[in-house]
Structure 1
Amino acid sequence: MPKKEQTLDFQELFSAIDELEREYKIEKDYVYSVLESALLTAYKQVKGIKDKNLSNVKVSIDPEKGSVKIYEYRKVVENVKDRKNEISLEDAQKIDKRYKIGDIVAIEIPISQFSRKAAMTVRQTVIGKIREKKRSIIFEDYSSKIDNIVTGIIQRIDKKNVIVEIEGGKVEAILPMEEQIPGEEYKPGTLMKFYLVDVKIPPKEKEPIVYLSRTHPNLIKRLMENEVPEIQEGIIEIKAIAREAGSRSKVAVYSNSLKVDPVGACIGEKGIRIQNVLKHLNGEKIDIVKWSSDIGEFIKNALSPAEVVHIDLNLIEKKAFVLVPNSQLSLAIGKGGQNARLAAKLTGWKIDIKGKD
């Protein structure tokens, strides 16, 4: 059975170009220039031309009609000396009797007559260049979104990594095991917020890989920015975040205005703002504490909800010796030492807590 000839379906190509422009913002002119270059390469292959100069050959692309044509342009002469660029008057008048010496004749080269190999060259070149452009656009687009939040839908689990569809299916991103919240379920079809950590282009011309996180402290920071207008406006600053993802976090905030209480503004009326943050964190608790340039005051605030009775600071070792009422010692330390551990991480100081009668 003879092999089916490889043909070029330009109507299909133009439809694909329209879709690429809509989905990935790949400009049509770029694809047309790629197609033109690929066709000229195939033309040289068919004609056995090694010369890089093809000034007498042009590609005509008409997306509206869905047509692509190649023309050779030759000058009408009395005696042909350069067959590539010239045509005799006799041959020119076989095409159109009105041609005269000095005219330029456009001779269409039927693309349908391209060999199977040449047709494949065109297809592979165009597809390859489009993929390359698509990779570049995806990489640039998502590189600009690093350190921001994206919304995604859980697709599947692959070797302990969670595969997430983001931006309406344009890209599949990876939530690595080490960026997953312990105990959090990732059921296919679940809509979640993620922190975009990085974008990398793997070898062998594959699609860029977008890496996500559910454990990064900046996930909380970006969620709070979305919910608290005063943060967006620069009135309130998030000075530090200490996080044990899935369990508890502490966030230190500061107000640049004496009229605005940073803690109250972040919590919101009836707790609405902080609740809007927490709903994306699967039960994680957040303590909002007031930041202070006075490290002693900051450490006291960081140990909330426990009440600090006295504090001594070792400035050389960055170590704080804290006294709390015996009745609040377990509260200050926290379950498994979590409250003290988070306070130390938030302030950057070692904290030694003792009870006082």
Structure 2
Amino acid sequence: MGAAPVVYLFLRGRFMAVNLSPIAENIELLSREKNIDPQTIIDAITEAVLRAYQKQYRHLGEDVDVRYNPDTGQIEIFAQMTVVEEVTDPAKEISLEEANELAEGAEVGDILEIQRPFEGMGRIAAQTAKQVITQKVREAERNLVYDEYIQHVGELVHGFIKRFEKRGDVVIDLGSVEGLLPRSEQSKAEKFSLNERVRAVIIKVSRDVKETYGQQIILSRTCPELLMRLFEMEVPEIYDGTVQVKGAVREPGDRAKLAVTSTDRDVDPVGACVGMKGSRVQAVIRELHGEKIDIIEWSENPAIFAAQALSPAKVNKVQILDPASRRIEVIVEDDQQSLAIGKQGQNVRLAARLVGWNIDIRSESDVKRQVASQIEQLIQSGAIPIPAAGAQLGADTIAR
């Protein structure tokens, strides 16, 4: 065997050579390679050796302690024996006479540590130790990733498509780590290619990877936060706080709505987000593969906000029906009703989610018919008296 490796440490103003044992060398290399605290690796090794020793020498029934000696770079195993007058458990006790032969001055009740050979472990025990060390190192790596990325949940990250999984999920290379873009977090309008550059939002960071197919960082391209983060990149006024995003809703791949307001009366929040000739909003639309985006000025008045949230439809009147149940009635011209409702109710559905109120849409003709019907019922019930000569004319007029 060759000589032990030498590490040069810069101490007291000069480099000093330090010989490392194979164990110390592995700790040093693993620490640098995985960016893990050396003490974490030492703890993993000592725990692994303890398990392996107990597995091989279980029949001895000893109380064993395993320690790493930083001076020698070796793993040391000690059986802990209690000094007694009369031994009843040879695996854990040692007589006072025998104890004094090993350590002069020992007294009853003292704990005597007797070193056991480290090299005595067999192949199975060594394999157990290796498995424990591997497991502990992986746990340490996962903890490092978790601690680094948990604070970035909700933020935008960039990466490249690394591979496709059978279930439709996509693994994205984020640089030092990988992220998982599940099929459920992908827009139906998107199709990716290998090595394609992708932007996504971190929605979850997990320590336990059993439920996330081995990946700790879960990404999304369907969440409203992606829309908000993209506008932050494109609109300097959002980045510096002049324009604030108050809410965003999406039906990924089809349509989205963004509510914005301005802290400066001289800055139009909608115009700032649209940009010169639509340049800013078009950049976001391209990133979302053609998803239509309505940019709406936010209002603390729910009636005004609801009217604006139904864009591109034009609203005639808004009435708050029940504040407790958060119900609003919106009246539009007949030719605006289908636009306000949207395809399969998409526009009103998104508007309701953005405003946070239930929105009922009615056309002007529906309202007129309802008013006429109510008047007719009142006349027929006698609640509204009319001259006999004009009764028939009045009834015909109402009918018309």
**So what's the TM-score if we normalise by structure 2?**
0.64
Larger RCO, structures 1/2 (Cα 8 Å, 6+ apart): 1
Structure 2 CA distance for partners of 1:45 and 1:9, relative to 1, 3 Å: farther
CA distance in 2 between counterparts of 1:146 and 1:306 reads 35
Residues 242-291 of structure 1: CA deviation (Å, up to 9, x unaligned)? 31211221111112332322112223344443344333211112111101
| More off after superposition, 334-343 vs 141-150 | 334-343
Unaligned runs of 5+ in 2: 1-20, 79-96, 105-113, 366-400
Distance 1:33 1:331 in 2: 66
1:180 is matched with which residue: 177, 186, 190?
A: 186
Q: 2:43 aligns with which of 29, 33, 39?
A: 33
Q: Using a 3 Å threshold, how does the CA distance of structure 1 residues 198 and 214 change in structure 2: closer, same or farther?
A: same
Residue number among 99, 114, 123 corresponding to 1:82 in the alignment: 99
- Please state how far the C-alpha of 1:42 moved relative to its aligned partner: 5.4
Letter in 2 for 1:20: K
Matched, 1:15 2:21: no
Checking the alignment, whether the CA contact within 8 Å between 1:307 and 1:325 is kept in structure 2 is: no
Aligned mate of 1:191, from 183, 194, 197: 197
Matched, 1:313 2:329: no
2:269 counterpart of 1:262? yes
Runs of 4+, deviation exceeding 6 Å: 43-49, 107-110
Shift of 1:318: 1.8
Residue in 1 that maps onto 2:382: none
More divergent stretch after superposition (248-257 vs 33-42)? 33-42
TM-score (norm 1): 0.70
CA–CA distance in 1 between the matches of 2:276 and 2:63? 72
Which residue does 1:224 correspond to in 2? 231
What's the CA shift for 1:161?
2.8
Listed one character per residue, the Cα deviations across residues 47-101 of structure 1 (whole Å, up to 9, x for unaligned) are: 88754465xx853347xx9x546498xxxxxxx94389549xxxxxxxxxxxxxx
Considering only aligned residues, what root-mean-square deviation do their CA atoms show, in Å? 4.0
Q: Aligned AA for 1:129?
A: K
AA in 1 matched with 2:30 = A
Structure label with greater radius of gyration:
2
Q: Which residue of 2 aligns with 1:75?
A: none
Q: Aligned partners of 2:101 and 2:53: how far apart in 1?
A: 13
Preserved CA contact (<8 Å) 2:179 2:218: no
Q: Determine the C-alpha separation between the residues in 2 that align with 1:189 and 1:84.
A: 71
Contact 1:61–1:69 at 8 Å: present in 2 too? no
The letter of the residue matching 1:115 is G
Deviations 1:136-188 (A, max 9, x none): 33344443333332333334443433122242262341413x32211321323
**Identity across matched positions, percent:** 32
How many residues end up aligned between the 2 structures? 313
1:205 & 1:337 partners in 2: Cα distance?
A: 34
Instruction: Kindly indicate whether the alpha-carbon contact (under 8 Å) linking 1:306 and 1:324 is maintained by their aligned counterparts in 2.
Output: no
Over 3 Å counting, the alpha-carbon distance change for 1:33 and 1:286 in structure 2 is same
The answer as to whether partners of 1:154 and 1:162 remain within 8 angstroms in 2 is no
1:119 aligns with 2:129: no
Contact 1:324 1:332 in 2 (8 A): no
Could you tell me which amino acid in structure 1 is paired with residue 44 of structure 2? V
